[in-house]
Amino acid sequence: MKKSTVSIVGLSLILSGTTTSLLACDLCSVYSAAHARGETGKGFFGGVAEQFTHFGTTQIDGMEVPNVAGQHLDSSISQLFAGYNFNDRFSLQLNVPIIYRSFKRPDDLGGIEHGTESGLGDLSLLASIRPYFHETIKSTFSWNVVGGVKFPTGSSRRLHEEVDELTAPEPPPGAPASGIHGHDITLGSGSIDGIIGTGIYARWKRCFLTASTQYTIRSQGDFNYQFANDLTWAGGPGYMLVLNDYYTIAIQAVVSGETKGKDTFLGMKAEDTGMTAVYLGPQINFTWSDKLSAEIGVDLPVSIANTSFQTVPDYRVRAGLTWHF
């Protein structure tokens, strides 16, 4: 199942709240890096995040099968976001996704269809609270909780394909099946959904560890289609290669994953929509002064268990840029 509406949620892993001249320079740099990401200090922050995913492998119930039609899906989700830190413990953030998808798939007549879908996705509004924070010169521990709502702002017209498939003629004998459907390429769900999540940040000198998870609670959307609730998570250890008053550079090994059940259509389970995937890849984090932060990472699948016949991811590339005003 390719997510139709993706909310790239910044689970704010706040590093530091206050600092004084008594702290070591390294810790001051850590604080500046957190401020650059918009995680500390009162004020506005904004930026853009991008996730590109290439789907080019076909699987049946978790087992790879030949992709005889050469079908594939390229999905680009550019997320514009803006937020405000009311203080070091509470912030609000608005995410605006711009989606572009191009695909090649078999059609109902035994031919090959090439197509694109682009436009505004489903907006989300998120609130972040930091219930616990502890810091010494050598260590930091921070815990954040996130909650929010996703709104049905993206077009759901592609979901009508699920209705059309009910009356579509049987494909010619021997024609390849499509692993890319309307629920894979739609821009929106037509539903109002809830979002909850949590994250931690732990540091010991220059070593650090992040962990975050997000759960999306789906309601019924347009065309009597309801996406299944989904759980996403990410985290892993890292090390600050460069840490000074002007900029920081860190490298991190990120393990991430997602799991969701089968969607519901007209009161019945859609068999080709369940998936559990685990990814592994490197990420580089950069901050400049207390204003700019950036990151880029690559995710390679190490395990994908899907239901029925689907086209599944081969890789993901993620990047993000945040400016704290």
Note the pLDDT tens digit of each residue in 198-213.
Answer: 999 999 989 999 999 9
Position 305, amino acid: A
Strand partners, 248: 243, 287
pLDDT over 70 at 117, yes or no: yes
- H-run or E-run covering 222: none
Q: Which two tokens stand for residue 277?
A: 């995937």
Q: Domains, the chain, ranges and CATH?
A: 25-324 (2.40.160.40)
Per residue in 1-57, pLDDT (tens digit) is 555 443 333 333 333 332 222 233 455 555 555 555 555 568 898 999 999 999 999
C-alpha–C-alpha distance, residues 298 and 254, integer Å: 9
Express as a percent the part of the chain with pLDDT over 90: 71
Q: Which two tokens stand for residue 245?
A: 């008053």
Per residue in 248-284, pLDDT (tens digit) is 899 999 999 999 999 999 999 999 999 999 999 999 9
Q: What is the pLDDT of residue 9?
A: 36
C-alpha–C-alpha distance, residues 250 and 240, integer Å: 4
**pTM of the entire structure?**
0.89
pLDDT band for 314, please (50, 70, 90 cuts). very high
Residues 6+ apart with CB under 8 A from 168: 108
Q: What is the pLDDT of residue 17?
A: 31
Q: What is the pLDDT of residue 268?
A: 95
CA-wise closest residue to 296 among 264, 258, 249, 260: 249
Backbone angles phi, psi at 271, to 5 degrees: -65, -30
Distance between first and last Cα of the chain: 38
